[in-house]
Amino acid sequence: MPELPVAPSFRLDGKRALVTGAGRGIGLAAAAALAEHGASVTLAARSLDEIEAAAAAIRARGFAAEAMQLDVTDLAAIGERITRAAPFDILLNNAGCNRPGPYVDATPEDFDAVMGLNVRAAYFVAQSVAKRMIAAERKGSIIHMSSQMGHVGGRNRTLYCASKWALEGLNKAMALDLAPYGIRSNSIAPTFIETEMTAPFFADAAFKTSVLDKIKLGRLGQVEDLTGAIVFLASDASGLMTGSSIVIDGGWTAD
């Protein structure tokens, strides 16, 4: 009888994971999924009460989680908190924001806010985590929460598109620099996901209709639609994957 190959595991036992923007929405769902698959998860965000409650909820389900109060736009705080922590094996670079509006109305303050969080903070959080991985000689997986808007354009989304296209470029270049250390870098590019952050947009019936017209599967995304890809990229199941983007958009970018 032939010797059958053994499929790589999606389990994350013994791994340490850091999730930014983890108090709600995609970040919270990701933290819960990583913990469910065996990782010890650190939830990072500015609001300590929110992430402490989230970590407690994960622990109540029998999984390992702790809170780290962190403003990812504060570079000194990033360096201090991540350097002081034990090395992570997994990073989900999830913290982000959006200020939609016509291109001609965008202000320098809008630009700095979106690029500062979506690109600058993501860059230096990942750098700090990668440095710790390298120093500890640990292979790892860095996952950037990008967007379908990092692959296409969108009306009233110039700032968001600029930031997510930048993140996709960073992802590919990071993958090349970190590959010699066994550290992988990939991104996830969702369509519109129903969260507290996006809820105000969908209160506009015309906007919601325009979105659903572009999502070929005919529904808005849910956070659960992303967690399988997150666990996949964090695990050995994606061991040969780096510099890539998983687009979870219901067919938005297919035409």
Known catalytic residues are 160
- Residue 238 tokens read as 């994606």
**How many CB atoms neighbour CB 109 within 10 A?**
9
Give the N- to C-terminal CA distance of the chain in Å, as an integer: 46
- Residue 221 tokens read as 């995304």
Sign of CA dihedral 48, 49, 54, 57: positive
